[in-house]
Each structure stands twice: as C-alpha cells, then as structure tokens.
Amino acid sequence: MKNAGSVPVLMYHHITPSSGQITTSPENFDSQMAALAANGYTSLTADQFAGYLRGEKVPEKSVLITFDDGYLDNWVYAHPVLQKHGMHAVMFLVTGWAGQGGLRPVNGSGKPLPACPSHHECMEIVDVGKAHEIAVRWSEVRAMEAAGTFEIHCHTHTHTRWDLTQDEAGKCAGIASDLQQSRAALLEQLNKNTPHLCWPQGYFDDDYIQAAKALDFTVFYTTDAYGFNVAGGNPQYVYRIAVRNRSGSWLMHRIGIARNPYWGPLYNRWKKFRKQCRRAREARLANKA
C-alpha cells in the first residue's frame, strides 16, 4: 500500500437546511460525501489518523472528517448521509450540551424532523442555558457510534474561552476543570478515555496545552488550515480545512490543492497573506472609528 503524502482534515459544524455561517446544506453534504466515495477516498478513524502522524501507513487517498460541537443536525442530517455513502466522521462533542432522552427522527425516516436552527440561533439558545435543545443526545451519540458513522471525542464540557473571562489563576483552573468534566462525561456515557482534543473556538495557548497534557490528551486539533498533516507530523497541531457550502466537485478541487506538494504550500501562503491583509485593514478602520 502506497502511503498518503498528506491527510487533509475536513472541518464541519452544521448540516442543516437552515442557512447561515459554518453551515453546509444536506444536499451539498451529500454531494461531497458522494464525491469522496466515488473518487476512492478512505475516511479514517481518529486513531488511524494519529497512527499516521506517528509514521504508520494509511491509504494514499485518505481524509479525516470532523465535526465540532455536536449539534442535533449532525444526527438528523449528517448521520444518514454518512451511512448512505459508507463514510466515517469524528464528532468533537461539547459534553455539557448533550442531553438525555430517546432517539429523534433522522432525515429519510419519513417522520417529522426536529427543528435544526441556524448557528446564530443555536448560540442564542446556548446562551439562555438550553443547549440540550440544539445538541445531540447521548442515546443518539451511542447510536451513531454503533452504526459506525461517528466516533466521539473531546471538545471540553462547556466550550468556554477561559482566557477571556478569568485572571491567570482562574483561567488555568477553569481549563483543567472543563477538561476533567468532559473526560468524566465521556467515560460515564461511552466508557471512553480519549487522547483526542479539539480546542474550543480554535483558541489555545501554553496554559491550555499544559492542562491538556496533564490529563493525557496527546492529539490537538486546530482551526488553522495553512499547513499539512504528514507522516511524522506534529500531533499537537493538526491542521483542518473549513468546508464551504459547495458541491462535491468543489471539495475534490480543494482536497486536490491540499494534497499537492507544490501548489498546496503556495495556496496556503496566498490565503494566509490575504487573511493578514484583511485583519490589518479591519484594524485600521477600527482605529479611525
């Protein structure tokens, strides 16, 4: 088996007909998963991906499909599409948002579907303490793991940016407690002790890293798209590509760039330069105001 030169890691949040930011429609998600299957891609498990970073071989055409937060729409819309195309994904679950109760209907079941709001509406619901209304239930998590469509890993217990709300001592204590609570919930509900951690809101610093290492997390997922995940690469800095609400042909083009050893680095430098220019322009406008 020829080893992958690099493994693109795809980042999703919502799969829902509700439009808005960080959202892919069910139709486009179906097109994307169909394209992956038709083009011979293998969707890795998190442990297979971690093994690849350690130098183990994976199929040349490999991807890791990830979802952040654990929204209800991942169960209602993403789960049946993954099942349809034989694809496997990783869900980084905010464990404190997951509720109890029975399985809710999924798309294609012929039953009335639960509401799956936009990201903005979801955040408003979370802010008033009703996150369980827009998140997956533990019963649904177990059903997805049993079906092989999703595996569940850590995205903390509360999704809090402790660096924005606490002094240094409170920040460190908050991070440690948040991670410990998430570990305890995953162990209680899924009998799982995972080494995989996705940073809330994509933010981390040395305090976050040290707290995670102290609890035996070893693979850290960022929101940085400007790099390559290669054999022997750094497991504490996993690059991820934010997937747009576009068709499967767009995804194949984007993955093609991400896997190309020549065009990929050039594309990343160009995108990073544009991002820096945009931020500088926004800072200038803010200063003028």
As a three-state string, the secondary structure of the chain is: CCECCCCCEEEECEECCCCCCCEECHHHHHHHHHHHHHCCCEECCHHHHHHHHCCCCCECCEEEEEEEECEHHHHHHHHHHHHHHCCCEEEEECHHHCECCCCCCCCCCCCCCCCCCCHHHHHHHHHCCCHHHCECEHHHHHHHHHHCCEEEEECCCCCCCHHHCCCHHHHHHHHHHHHHHHHHHHHHHHCCCCCEEECHHHCCCHHHHHHHHHCCCCEEECCCCCCCCCCCCCCCCECCEECCCCCHHHHHHHHHHHHCCCHHHHHHHHHHHHHHHHHHHHHHHHHHC
CB atoms < 10 A from the CB of 248, how many? Answer: 19
Nearest C-alpha neighbor of 151 from the set 100, 82, 76:
82
241-284 pLDDT per residue, tens: 999 999 999 999 999 998 888 788 888 888 888 888 888 887 78
Domain extents in the chain:
9-260
Fold annotation for 9-260:
TIM Barrel (3.20.20)
Q: What is the mean pLDDT of the chain?
A: 95
Contact 108, 147 (CB under 8 A): no
C-alpha distances (whole Å) from 84 to each of 79, 166, 248, 281 are: 9, 45, 15, 45
Contact 119, 23 (CB under 8 A): yes
For range 193-215, the mean pLDDT: 96
68-93 pLDDT per residue, tens: 999 999 999 999 999 999 999 999 99
For range 213-223, the mean pLDDT: 97
